[in-house]
Structure 1
Amino acid sequence: MIETVTLENCEMEFARFGTGAKAFIIIPGLSIKNVLKTADVVAEAYKIFAEDYTIYFFDRRKEIQPGYTLTEMADDIAGAMKKLNLPRADIFGFSQGGMIAQDIAIRYPELVNKLVLGSSSSYPEPMQKTVLGEWLRLAKAGETSALVNHFIEHAFSKKFVERYRRALLALYRKISPEELERFIICTNACDALNAYDSLEKIQCPVLVLGSGEDGVLSLDASVKIADKLKSLKKNVEFYIYEGYGHAAVDELPEYKTRIFQFLQK
């Protein structure tokens, strides 16, 4: 299921599933572990897309160096799309993935048919700075247990953590120094986020999904994106998952159904 695409300056791994004629790209958020290790789970979660779409689930480039930016992440995805002959796709970006997806829609509008932004932001929010700052502190100190617990408690709703804490902790066992360094580099990239004033360049329909208990970026981050697009008279829909955490996409199967229905309009 895992494939590699070679670009001019890097290689990118991705999972491909589904048999449909249309392309659907998923750009995940920050992760302490390699997201592609859960590709089979992702394939199952997005199975309602599989008949209409071929789904591409992208990781960041294989080898990253300090200073790796959101702009470079967006360029990597755009380059991979071109290399894979995906001239126009529906794109879903979650959290940092939404930051990347915004940049693609702003600078490569010809590549995006429809855009979905889940629990994302267009510039660093106060909560975002605080939470990501603590993640960075713990990661740099090598305090992996504290990092994992902090990550889980802020990414998911309290009721979800109470029910699935043991399973969530199992996902983040045996974190290597290399994984911590990769996490630090990708987290640092969020500091330079500055898409808000360029949202006017987005030309495609947009679905913004926020979470009422977003403990990472805050619900305000999603509200501000939706309000800005509305003020610009863009084709935008907005929905809030009240009572769910930052990672509502993982808490609620209906989340994927809403995305699918938006893309089918």
Structure 2
Amino acid sequence: MTDTDALPHAFARAADGTPLAYQRQGAGFPLVLLAGQANNHHWWDGIREDFHGSHSTITLDTRGTGASGRPPQGYATQQFADDVIAVLDGLGIERADVYGTSMGGRVAQWVAARHPGRVRRLVLGCTSPGGPHAVERDASVRRALAQPDPEAARQALIDLMYSPGWRTTHPGPYQTLGDPDMPPHARRGHLLASNRHDAWDALPKVTAPTLILHGDQDRMAPPANLSLLADRIPDARTHLFPGARHAYFEECRAEASALVSAFLTD
């Protein structure tokens, strides 16, 4: 059992009554960590501790995952952002730093754009603005992930997340492959939420200093989205990790966590 397995859940309640499980660890200024599509708080296992020198970390099980409620509706990145605010309200936290990756980065965009007074600093990783302006993954990626053989689809996802060289020295288990206990309706809801995300018009409303990170070999969320986000968010900084795929935050952990920590404490 790891330390993150042992983290106790606390609960906030969304506006529609859905219970939202969250986990808090460490001391210092609050840092909200938002996971990717169809993943629970374990997405951040082994990484969250990198920020405990200056921050307390708050993760949550996005509705439909982990110990949170699994309602039949309410799956949209805007709703997920409102759920983040419900957790902060439940904790009595007025302002926090927010770091979202993949779909969590899409959620973080809405948190910062719709609630600018609640976000001190924003980090977006391996994500996109969504909508017609975004650069989407190509059809071969979609086919690989949708193939009927579950193990073949799982291997395709691993290959999209991590480079072959990194996998030879890090054979897993991997915590970024989805919550295996999600019911089908919630899994579909997360997929639709990510596919329907479009924050293009809202991004100029982000007032928090922003850092945008991406692996330059990311086929899940093509790296061209980094410059699109940076052009829309005022005074955003960017960094590309050479050779990294979607899970740059693990594969390039030392460099990525150091960059994020320096940005948050600058």
TM-score tier by shorter-chain length is 0.7 to 0.9
1:29 maps to which residue? 36
Q: 1:35 to 1:132 in 2, by over 3 A?
A: farther
**Aligned-partner SS, 1:244:** coil
Segments of structure 1 that go 5 or more residues without pairing to the other structure are none
2:137 maps to which residue? 128
2:56 maps to which residue? 54
2:96 maps to which residue? 89
Deviation at 1:219, TM superposition (A): 0.5
Deviation at 1:149, TM superposition (A): 1.2
Deviations 1:179-231 (A, max 9, x none): 454333212211211112221100110000111111201001112111333xx
Q: How many residues align?
A: 250
Deviation at 1:127, TM superposition (A): 3.6
2:236 maps to which residue? 236
Give TM-score, length-normalised by structure 2: 0.84
Tell me the amino acid that sits aligned with residue 59 of structure 1: D
Deviation at 1:259, TM superposition (A): 0.4
Deviations 1:115-160 (A, max 9, x none): 000011001545436377447734xx5x421221121111222322
Among 119, 125, 130, the residue aligned to 1:112: 119
Q: 1:161 to 1:179 in 2, by over 3 A?
A: farther
Equivalent-residue separation in structure 2 for 1:199 and 1:5 (angstroms): 27
**Whose helix fraction is larger, Structure 1's or Structure 2's?**
1
Per mean C-alpha deviation after superposition, the further-off stretch among 204-213 and 58-67 is 58-67
Deviation at 1:25, TM superposition (A): 0.4
Tell me the amino acid that sits aligned with residue 54 of structure 1: S
Alignment of 1:1-265 (within 5 A): 1=7, 2-8=9-15, 9-20=17-28, 22-31=29-38, 35-36=40-41, 38=42, 42=45, 44-61=46-63, 62=68, 63-65=70-72, 68-124=75-131, 125-128=134-137, 130=139, 133-134=142-143, 137-138=146-147, 141=148, 143-165=149-171, 167-168=173-174, 175-176=180-181, 178-229=182-233, 234-253=234-253, 254-265=255-266
Tell me the amino acid that sits aligned with residue 57 of structure 1: T
Give TM-score, length-normalised by structure 1: 0.84
**8 Å contact kept, 1:206–1:236:** yes
Segments of structure 2 that go 5 or more residues without pairing to the other structure are 1-6
**Aligned-partner SS, 2:202:** helix
RMSD: 2.6
Q: 1:209 to 1:52 in 2, by over 3 A?
A: same
Equivalent-residue separation in structure 1 for 2:227 and 2:235 (angstroms): 15
